[in-house]
Structure 1
Amino acid sequence: MPLEFGLWRVDDKPVRVATRPMPLESRLEALIEADPGILGDPLLLIGRQVPTSHGKVVDLLGMDADGGLHVLELKRDRTPREVVAQVLDYGSWVQALTNEQIRDIYASYARSRGQAEELDEAFALRFGGSPPEALNSTHALTIVASEIDAATERIVTYLASGFQVPVNVLFFRYFEDEGRAYLARTWLIDEAEAAAPSAGAKGHGKQEPWNGIDWYVSFGDEPGSRSWDDALRYGFVSAGGGEWFSRTLRSLPIGARVFTHIPKVGYVGVGTVSGEPQPFEDAVLTIDGHSRPMADLPLKGTYRPTAAGAEVDGQDRREWIVPVTWEQAAPRERALWRPGFFANQNSACKLRARFTIDEVSRHFGIDQDSADA
C-alpha cells in the first residue's frame, strides 16, 4: 500500500485538512510541465503529447541526469487494464528511440514553446554539464494519478516486484483549506524498493553518430608545462605526464579534424592532424615551410618530463606532440564556451556531439558542408 499523507492546520488546535478529489486530474499535466520538480527526482521535460509510431500519444516524456527516459502517463478516467496496458505499450516504443529521434522530439517540443535552445543547452541548464554520449540507456514508466483502484495497484505491484518492470504509480493528494489548494505526492512502491529503470534496447542509435573525422582534444594550458600560445603559433597539440594522458592523444590519425578545448576555458581552435605523434625531444614541426626541431623553438612552455626522468613507476611521462594545421584558431582570451558543449577528461576522443561541432564551426566560420564532404 502507498504511504498515506495527512495534513493538519495548527494555528490553535490541530485541524485536519480534508482530502478532496482533484477537480481536473488532467490539470496535473500542466502543473508538472510548469515545474517538473514536483515529481521529486530532477527531470528535464523533452516532450508533451508526444506521438508514437503506434498511433498513440505520450502525455509527458522526460529525461534524467543520466540520459534515461521517463514516460509519465496520466490515469484520467481509464480502467486499470487500459492505463497499465497503455504505459507498457509506451515502454516498448520508448526503449527503441535513437539518439537522433530523442533530439528531434525535444526540438519539436522546444519550438512549440517558442524556445530555440538545443537539447544539449537545455540539459546543461537543468543538470549542469553536457548530456552523456549514450541517451536512453534506461527508461522508467510512471502512472500519475490522484487515486487508483485496487486492481491497478495489484497489477503494478506484481509487474514491478515480481518481474522488475520499471513501472510505478505517483499519487498526488489534493487538499483544500480556506480557499487555498495544496498538493502532496507519494509513490505506490517506495523508490528504494522499486525496480531499477529498465535498460533500453541495445545496439545502434543510442549514441550520436560519428562522422569518422571529428575528434575532441583537451589541451591543458598550464603554467610551467604547456602553453596554448605555443600551440597556436607553431601548430600542434600535446599531452603528457603519464600514459593515461598521452595514450588517447597518440591515437589521433593523420587527417583527423580536431576541435581543441582548454579545460574550464572553452574551444580555441579547429585544425587537421598533419603528422605522426612524437615525444617532445624528437618532435619536428614545419614552420614557414621549413622543418624545425621543436626543442630549438622559442617556447613559453617547457614540454619536458619531471626531474625524475621520462619514466616514473614504469610509466612514460614524456610530453607527446601531434602536429596540427589550424583551419581556424584563436587566443585563449577569445575561447568559445556555451552550456551544453561537450567536454571530456580524456586528452582525445571521438567527437559525436553535433551541437558542439555545429556551434564551434559556426563561431570560427568553418563551412560544415565542405568539411563533412
Structure 2
Amino acid sequence: MAIEQGIWKLAGTTGELPQKLRPTGLADEGQLEEQIMQDVSILNRDWLLIGRQVRTGFDKLIDLLALDANGTVIIIELKRDKTPRDVVAQAIDYASWVVTLADYQLIDIYQAFAEKNSRPHATLEEAFQAKFGLSLEDVTLNDSHQMVVVATRLDASSERIINYLNDHAQLSINAMFFAAFEDQGNHYLSRAWMIDPDEPAQPAVSKAHKEPWNGEFYASFGDSRPWGLARRYGFIAGGGAAWYSKTLAMLSEGDRVWVNIPKTGYVGVAVVTGERCRADHFSVQTEHGKRLLPEVATATEYPHIHQAIENDEDAAEYLVPVRWLASFPASQAFSEVGLFGNQNTVCKPTTPKWEHTVGRLKQAWKID
C-alpha cells in the first residue's frame, strides 16, 4: 500500500483551480528529528519524549524513546540511510532490550536526556505530571511497549512485514510517513500513519501474562469529574485530549462496564445504552423533559463540559450513556489490594487480575 501525500491550496475565487504545493523533500531524517525534539506532537500529541540517541545494552543507539500516559514505552526509529527492511528489524532488536528495562532505568534515561537537552523538567516525575496530569506512582512503567518506524516512504515488502507482525506475531509496530512542501517561501510538513493509531483495538506488546478477554470492560472515571452527576444522569466520561476520549469509542450498546475512580475505588457497573458523543451535545431526561447536559449542570458542577463547548474535537469532553446496574457514592467505593487499575478511560483487560477483580465486585455487590 504505497502512500503518496500531497497538499493543495484551495482556490480563493470561483473559477480558480486548486494549486498543488511543490514537494521539497526532507534533507534527511536528522532534520526531522530536530523538529520532533522541538514539538513531539508532530508525531503524537499524547506522547512524552524521554530519550534521544539512547545507548542499548548491546551498544546501539535508539533514535527516540517516549512514554504515553499509561506508561507504555514507544520506540521511535528513523529510517535514515537504512534499507526499509533493516529499519523494521532494528526496531524489533531495540524492543528486545527495552522490554528488560526497569522503572528506575527509564527514570535515569529521562534524567540524562533532560540534562543534555535542557528540558523544562529535570525529573521524569515532574515531566509526567506536567504532561498528563498524573503522578508517576499511579502507572506501571514499561508494562508494554510499541515500535514506530518514521520514514518518507517504505517499500511494499516492509509494509507486508509490519502488517504481518501486527496481525499474527502479536507485535505492535507502526510506520509514520512524512513529506515536506513549499509555497511562496513557507515550508510545510505533512504526516500519515500506515495503521490508524487511534484504532482502539491497536495492541501493545505486553510483558504480563494474558488471558482471553472475558467480555467485561473497565472504565476509569477521573476524580476531577462529577461522579454524582454521572450517577444521576447515567454516563461515563473522558476528555481534554484525544488519548483520554478516544477509547470511549470502544463501547457499544449492550456492553457491560465496571467503573473505577483512581485512588478511590470501584463505584459502579453499567450497561451501555448508546454511542460516544460530545458532552455539549449530550441530552438528559429531567422533570421538564429532555435538556442538554450543559443546561442542567453548572460550570461549577462540571467545568469540563463547559470548557468542551469552546474546545476543538480532540480536546473536548465526551460522554457515553449508560444504565446503572449498581452505583455507589464515592464514599462507599469498593477498594482492596489486588484489584485491576489502568489509566485508559476504557480498556479490555486481559490480565488474570481482571478476572479476579470482576469476581470480587460481583461478590461484594451481589451481581450475577
Q: TM-score range by the shorter chain?
A: 0.5 to 0.7
* Secondary structure, counterpart of 1:85 in structure 2: helix
Letter in 1 for 2:127: A
Match status 1:142 vs 2:148? yes
Deviations 1:117-157 (A, max 9, x none): 21111001111121234201110000001112222222212
Structure 1 residues 47 and 177, CA gap change in structure 2 (3 angstroms) = same
**Counterparts in 2 of 1:228-239, with a 5 A limit?**
none
In structure 1, list runs of 5 or more residues that go unmatched: 203-243, 247-316, 319-344, 350-373
Supply the AA of the counterpart residue of 1:38: I
Letter of the 2:44 counterpart: G
- 192, 199, 206: which one aligns with 1:199: 206
Mapped contact 2:3–2:153 kept (Cα < 8 A): no
The answer for the alignment partner of 1:183 in structure 2 is 189
Instruction: Considering Cα pairs closer than 8 Å and 6+ residues apart, tell me whether 1 or 2 has the greater RCO.
Output: 1
Aligned CA-pair RMSD: 2.9
Given residue 169 of structure 1, which amino acid in structure 2 is its aligned partner? A
Residues of 2 paired with 1:127 and 1:190: CA distance? 22
The aligned residue for residue 129 of structure 1 is 134
Residue 39 of structure 1 and its aligned partner are, at CA, apart by 1.1
CA distance in 1, matches of 2:168, 2:3: 20
Task: Return closer, same or farther for 1:347/1:196 CA change in 2, 3 Å cut-off.
Answer: closer
- SS of the residue aligned with 2:29? coil
TM-score using structure 2 length = 0.53
1:91 corresponds in structure 2 to: 95
The alignment partner of 1:81 has SS state of helix
Alpha-carbon distance between aligned partners in 1 of 2:337 and 2:164, rounded to the nearest angstrom: 47
What are the superposed Cα offsets for residues 99-130 of structure 1, whole Å, 9 maximum, x if unpaired?
11010101111111235621111001111121
Deviation for aligned residue 1:347: 10
1:32 aligns with 2:36: yes
Q: How does 1:257-272 map to 2 (within 5 A)?
A: none
Aligned to 1:119: 124
Query: What is the distance in 2 between the residues matched to 1:153 and 1:83?
Result: 12
Match of 1:171 among 177, 193, 196: 177
Residues 182, 66 of structure 1: alpha-carbon distance in 2 compared, 3 angstrom cutoff: same
Supply the AA of the counterpart residue of 1:16. K
CA shift in 2, pair 1:194/1:157, >3 Å: farther
**1:43, 1:62 within 8 Å by CA — same for their partners in 2?**
yes
Secondary structure of 1:93 counterpart: helix
Map Cα deviations across residues 19-47 of structure 1 (whole Å, 9 max, x no partner): 33212222111111110111134111000
For residues 148 and 97 of structure 2, the distance between their equivalents in structure 1, rounded to whole angstroms, comes to 15
Cα 1:2–1:135 change in 2 (3 A) is farther
Residue 13 of structure 2 is aligned to residue 6 of structure 1:
no
Give the 3-state SS of the residue equivalent to 2:177 in structure 1. strand
Pair 41,199 (structure 1): closer, same or farther in 2 beyond 3 Å:
farther
Cα distance in structure 2, aligned partners of 1:346 and 1:34: 42
Equivalent AA in structure 2 for residue 136 of structure 1: N
Q: For residues 191 and 156 of structure 2, what CA distance do their matches in structure 1 show? A: 18
Supply the distance in 1 between the matched residues of 2:129 and 2:200 (Cα, whole angstroms): 30
Asked if the contact 1:2–1:186 (Cα under 8 Å) also holds between the matched residues in 2, the reply is no
Distance 1:179 1:27 in 2: 18
Deviation, 1:4, is 4.3
After superposition, the Cα gap between the structure-2 partners of 1:123 and 1:179, relative to the gap in structure 1 and judged at 3 Å, is: same
Please identify the structure whose Cα radius of gyration is greater.
Answer: 1
Between the two proteins, the alignment pairs up a number of residues equal to 212
Identity of aligned residues (%): 40
Change in 2 beyond 3 A, CA 1:106/1:61: same
- Paired with 1:15 and 1:29, the residues of 2 have a C-alpha distance of 29
User: Which residue, out of 42, 54, 71, partners 2:58?
Assistant: 54
In 1, Cα distance between equivalents of 2:24 and 2:201: 28
Contact 1:168 1:194 in 2 (8 A): no
Q: Name the SS for the 1:26 alignment partner.
A: helix
What's the CA shift for 1:76? 0.8
Is contact 1:146–1:174 with CA below 8 Å preserved after alignment?
Answer: no
Q: Is the 8 A contact 1:161 1:194 kept in 2?
A: no
In 1, Cα distance between the equivalents of 2:152 and 2:85?
A: 17
- The separation in 1 between residues aligned to 2:72 and 2:84, in whole angstroms, is 26
